A and B are shown apart, each in its own frame.
Chain A
Amino acid sequence: MQAATSSSHPIAPAAAAGGPAVRAWIAVAGRWAAGLVLPALLFGLWLAAVRGQWAPEQILPSPALVWQSFTELWQSGELQDHLAISASRVAWGLLIGGGAGLLLGFAMGLSATVRAYVRPTFDVVAQFPVLGWVPLLIIFAGIDEALKVSAISIAVVVPVAVNTLAGIANIPHTQVEVARVYRFKLGQVLRHVVLPASAPSLFNGLRQATMQAWLTLVFVELLASSEGIGYLMVWGRQLGQLDLVVVGMLLIGAVGVSLDVLLRRAESALLGWRRVAF
């Protein structure tokens, strides 16, 4: 959001002391405060629900219990172990699937021939929900790491390829014509026309891919695992300790946020030149 705007306030206050600097700091603080309003409200709602017993305690854990479980697991090191295993699975999946997706997307986007041969099959196969693959994958890849990484890779290929393709498809005709007039080589076309125009879509694809990766990870870990965040949630649920489920959810969210922030920083660095209306 703030990434694509160039009219945003400077993060670091200007060297000139006084009015502008103070205003800048207030603006930053204000932005943080604004972002925290909704979460604070929701947290209040959670507390009220627990206090007022809107739902039975077995299925609505109290924030205090969640915190307690979190600290216990953190101190025993178990949480870090689960996290590390889940993260490594996602990383591998993103690497393999993302790479394949980019290749596929570019190949289909840039070459009409490739598109003609591959796109129909891709369209059909892309509709296979990864979950549809899982029963088959379990049979072929087993229930160990191979299953998880392959499932995640499959899940990642689709959004990356789809968004890459869309990004290329949405390149304004005029820009390509200009490139043709100037007789750009393929490398130049890629660098000056394709990448800048499709970059937003590429980032979109990467974001979607990360989301899909976590989604699939959780699904597969819910289905068959002996370690990992998803496993932690299964364990919690099976033993009526839904606070562990919440801890898992929060952890997944936290990791996701960090990844997202990283992507945003990268995107703003690359796309900061665009002016936007809102």
Chain B
Amino acid sequence: MTTASRSFDWRGLVLPGLLLAAWATVTAAHWVDTRLIVPPAGVLRTALRSLADPSFHLGVLFSVARDLSGFALGALGGVALGTLLGVSRRADRLIGPTFHTVRQIALFAWLPLLSSWLGYGELSKLVFIALSALYPVALGTFEGVRQITASQAEVARVYGFDRRQLLFRLILPAASPQIATGLSLGLVYAWVATIGSEFLLANWGHGLGNIVIKGRAAFDVELIVFGMVVIGLVGTLLNRVAARLEARALHWRRVAT
């Protein structure tokens, strides 16, 4: 956990700074094929052009909206499922094997079937994104519930917690580190799924993925790079938000380093 939270740690900029400098040098000196490894100035130009374009902002908005709705669905389902599997031995025996087996089917393997059934529109994308978020969240919740020690549960029994109190006062808080990790990962996966579904289920709608596809089609490597950067930035932003929520949920837990 960072100690001085107010002062900005400049050391974090060293690595990207070095990389940027290397990039600029290599392209300026033409040590590489500049059609493929485009100079940063070109990316900047494309960036400014895109930022002035309202359809670009619309695309970003659409993608983020898809991501968040899918994530919300998947996360809710994930916490519910993970808690169920972690708490109830019976549920774990009935559903667990299937859950863990189906989880092994790489999600993109579902896409051909999913798009055959649900088409190339919003529904299949949303379902896919929710699925992507569900598994890490469920897994994290499951792990978290599982590692609640017997002694902690005994304390709850002593206090005579009812079901609801058990859930909200013991289980979820005790499992919260793992749940938070799961949510954080789920957010990452949801964003991956959003972009991936926009790539594979391209339907000329609005979205960041579509913007990159257009860049590919036009062989506009600068647009591809810029698109990547934006995809990364949005993802980072989402994760920062998640991390902050995670930290707030854990403020009572002291950590080692």
Contact = CB atoms under 8 A, between A and B. Distances in A.
A252 B109 contact: yes
Nearest to B16: A121
A82 interface: no
Contacts of A225: none
Contacts of A31: 93
Contact of A131 (B142, B150, B152, B195): B195
A236 B15 CA distance: 45
Interface stretch (B22-30, B47-55, B84-92): B84-92
A11 interface: no
Interface stretch (A15-23, A73-81, A93-101, A208-216): A208-216
A266 interface: no
A127 B200 contact: no
Interface in B113-137: 113, 116-117, 135-136
A159 B139 CA distance: 13
A124 B232 CA distance: 6
A136 B185 contact: no
B225 interface: yes
Would you call the interface of chain A mostly helix, strand, loop, or mixed? helix
Interface in A60-108: 60
Contact of B106 (A163, A170, A218): A218
A121 B255 contact: no
Interface residues of B, number: 88
Given A39-B98, A204-B140, A211 B106 contact: yes
Interface in B62-120: 85-90, 92-98, 100-113, 116-117
A31 B89 CA distance: 10
B109 A136 contact: no
Contacts of B46: none
Given A120-B12, A204-B139, A129 B195 contact: yes
Secondary structure at the B interface, as helix, strand, loop or mixed, is helix
A162 B191 CA distance: 16
B254 A116 contact: no
Interface in A195-247: 200-201, 204, 207-208, 211, 214-215, 217-219, 222-223, 230, 233-234, 236-237, 242, 245-246
Contacts of A48: none
B112 A237 contact: yes
A130 B192 contact: yes
A128 B228 contact: yes
Contact of B185 (A110, A125, A208, A276): A208
A166 interface: yes
Most buried by B among A42, A174, A215: A215
Contacts of A204: 139-140, 143, 178, 181
B196 A129 contact: yes
A171 interface: yes
Indicate the size class of the contact surface on chain A. Answer: 35 or more
B138 interface: no
A218 B109 contact: yes
A246 to B, nearest CB: 7
A127 B232 contact: yes
A123 B236 CA distance: 7
Contacts of A123: 236, 239-240
A136 B225 contact: yes
B256 interface: yes
A112 B257 contact: yes
15 contacts: A35-B94, A38-B97, A42-B98, A113-B11, A120-B9, A121-B16, A125-B232, A127-B233, A127-B234, A168-B257, A169-B255, A208-B139, A260-B100, A274-B147, A276-B146
Interface of A: 1, 4, 31, 34-39, 42, 55, 59-60, 109-110, 112-113, 116-121, 123-136, 139-140, 158-159, 162-163, 166, 168-176, 200-201, 204, 207-208, 211, 214-215, 217-219, 222-223, 230, 233-234, 236-237, 242, 245-246, 248-250, 252-257, 259-260, 274-278
